[in-house]
């Protein structure tokens, strides 16, 4: 079944492709399989769940450089987005736990 993307999502795939190519050229990283259609699945899955996808491309490229990777691909970025969603959920859970603890401490003080 083919993916159906909205015009906004299609524009985002083009933007991500161009951004990835430019960023890789800037830092000397090889950019493979970074045409807009390579980003379709990632945008389909994570559009609206990962905020600032263009900036996440930069973070993913930084990570590639720090780990000594020589190639950036749209698939690697898709894996990055999956981890980003996981990290965001963990951060949200931590925030809720801290808020619950603060409310508990406040309730204990007011007794």
Contact call for residues 72 and 34 (beta carbons, < 8 A): yes
pLDDT tens by residue, 20-78: 999 999 999 999 999 999 999 999 999 999 999 999 999 999 999 999 999 999 999 99
68 φψ region: left (φ > 0), alpha (ψ -120 to 50), beta (else): left
Task: Specify the range with the lowest mean pLDDT, choosing from 16-20, 36-40, 101-105.
Answer: 101-105
Torsion of CA 103, 86, 27, 25, to 10 degrees: -130
Question: Which pLDDT score is estimated for 56?
Answer: 96
- Assess whether pLDDT exceeds 90 at residue 3: no
3-state secondary structure of 67: coil
């Amino acid at each position: 079944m083919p993916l159906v993307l909205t015009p906004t999502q299609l524009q985002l795939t083009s933007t991500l492709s161009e951004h990835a190519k430019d960023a890789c050229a800037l830092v000397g990283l090889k950019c493979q399989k970074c045409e807009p259609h390579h980003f379709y699945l990632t945008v389909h899955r994570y559009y609206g769940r990962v905020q600032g996808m263009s900036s996440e491309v930069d973070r993913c490229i930084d990570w590639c450089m720090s780990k000594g990777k020589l190639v950036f691909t749209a698939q690697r970025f898709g894996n990055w987005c999956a981890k980003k969603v996981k990290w965001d959920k963990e951060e949200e859970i931590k925030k809720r736990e801290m808020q619950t603890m603060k409310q508990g401490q406040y309730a204990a003080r007011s007794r």
